[in-house]
Each structure stands twice: as C-alpha cells, then as structure tokens.
Structure 1
Amino acid sequence: MNALLLVAHGSRRKQSNDEVAHLAEKLKKNCAEQYDIVKPAFLELSDVLIPEGIEQCIAEGATSITVLPYFLNSGRHVVEDIPNIINRCTARHANINISLSPHLGASDLMVDLLISTAVNSTLVSA
C-alpha cells in the first residue's frame, strides 16, 4: 500500500493546522489512484509530528510512504530537519520504503499557480 504524508511546519494556531488536515483530505480524494493512504503531519507545534504520521501510515498497512514537504523554500527544515527525521524513521522501519519528494516551492508548477492566484485575487477594501 502506498501512503502520502503531507508535512507542514505546524503552528500554535489550531486553525492553521486544521487547514493542512483539510488539504490532506482534498488530496486523498484527488490522488486515490496513486495513494491508498493520505495523512497530514507536522515538523513541530502540533499533535501529529512526522514520526507519528509515519507510524499511522504503517499501522494502516503502508509499505511505501512518500513524504511531501508543504514548504515554499529550501530552508533548514527542508534541507536538514525533515531528511534527518525520515532517516531515523527509516532506521526503525527498514522494511518500509520511505521517500522524500521535493518541497512544494521546487515545483515547476509554482509559477502557473502564482499567476492563477494573482489573476483571481480580490480587492481588499481599507
């Protein structure tokens, strides 16, 4: 079984974390052919951290997990922290294929997304 783990930074603001969980639900509906399981997880400041998210996927039968960093830039979290966490989890679960996809901001689709978002912007009144 294939799993997708959507990883965001995490926030003290519950609504921000809920937005990521809602996005994971939308992903689940739209990528069911590629992924049997879709879960949100966070680097910090939330209930489900990356190791717990990986454990949840495994408990649901995942044999392959793709970690998708929901980050715009290749800062320390993307370049060091998330890979280090994945390496520790891989060491504990050698029989599970855990891979790291490029962060969201690295996508070639980002320019089209930004243009589409700007074109569809709304006027904010003062």
Structure 2
Amino acid sequence: MKKSLLLVAHGSRREASNDEVRALTARVREADDARFALIDCAFLELAEPDIPGGIQRLIDAGATHVTVLPYFLAAGRHVSEDIPEAVAGKQAEHPDVQIEIAPYLGTSDAIPGLLLTMLADSTAAAS
C-alpha cells in the first residue's frame, strides 16, 4: 500500500499565502520519517490544485491510500461539509483507493504547547 498525505488549506487570492502552504508542505515532506510515500497539498478554493485535483495527483503518482489533513483551526463549514463533500466525490470515482480525512489541525493536543513555544521563542528573540 502506497500511503500518501494531502495537506488541505483554504487557499487565498494572495499567491504568497498559497506559497507558504506549499513551503510548509515541503518542510513536512522533509521531516517525514517515511510514513508517507507521497506528500502534497491542495486548496479548498482560490488556488490550485483543488482538493479533487490534489487527490488525483496522488493517485496518478501511485497512491493507494490518501490521508487528507485539513489545515484548519476550527470546525467551520469548510471542515464539516466542504472538505468531506470533495473527498466523497473522489472516493466514488476511485473505490479501490482508501481516502480518509484526518482530524483538522485545531483538534491536536500539540497546539497549546506549540503556541506557548512560539511565544517563548519570540519573547526570547525580542530580549
């Protein structure tokens, strides 16, 4: 089974913001301990590839299992409705590929510590 990860962000009219997501994806790829054979990103709207396109790119590259990771802090409409709808459409097209949606970023127990670490780092740099 060729496992893959698709980091899904909102997308922005500001291309520099989309490039930040692409750069984060590259950093995740570099940090991965070979858990995923493929790691890519996609956007809900305003940027390419969209979610179906991102899933398709991974499938075309040989993915047989796709984990979609919503890069969102809260469970608004995009997390609760839009992303699952986009994933369901691709799942229907590719019943032989396992496509799952991971919990969105905001649910991670690591977030509080991450925020405090960021603040400590920025406070130390300002001293």
Tell me the alpha carbon deviations over residues 66-119 of structure 1, each in whole angstroms, 9 at most, x when there is no partner: 000000111110011101111111001000000000000100000100110111
Residue type of the alignment partner of 1:111: P
Give the paired residue count.
Answer: 124
1:27 equivalent in structure 2: 28
SS in 1 for 2:122: coil
TM-score relative to the length of structure 2 = 0.94
Distance 1:47 1:26 in 2: 19
Gaps of 5+ in 2: none
**1:121 is the counterpart of 2:91:** no
Gaps of 5+ in 1: none
2:47 equivalent in structure 1: 46
Cα root mean square deviation, aligned:
1.3
Distance 2:97 2:71 in 1: 22
Distance 2:22 2:94 in 1: 25
Tell me the alpha carbon deviations over residues 11-44 of structure 1, each in whole angstroms, 9 at most, x when there is no partner: 0000000000011111111114110100010000
1:83 equivalent in structure 2: 84
SS in 2 for 1:38: strand
1:11 equivalent in structure 2: 12
2:69 equivalent in structure 1: 68
Distance 2:38 2:111 in 1: 25
Moved more, 115-124 or 8-17: 115-124
Distance 2:27 2:39 in 1: 9
Query: After the TM superposition, which segments of 4 or more aligned residues of structure 1 sit over 3 Å from their partners?
Result: none
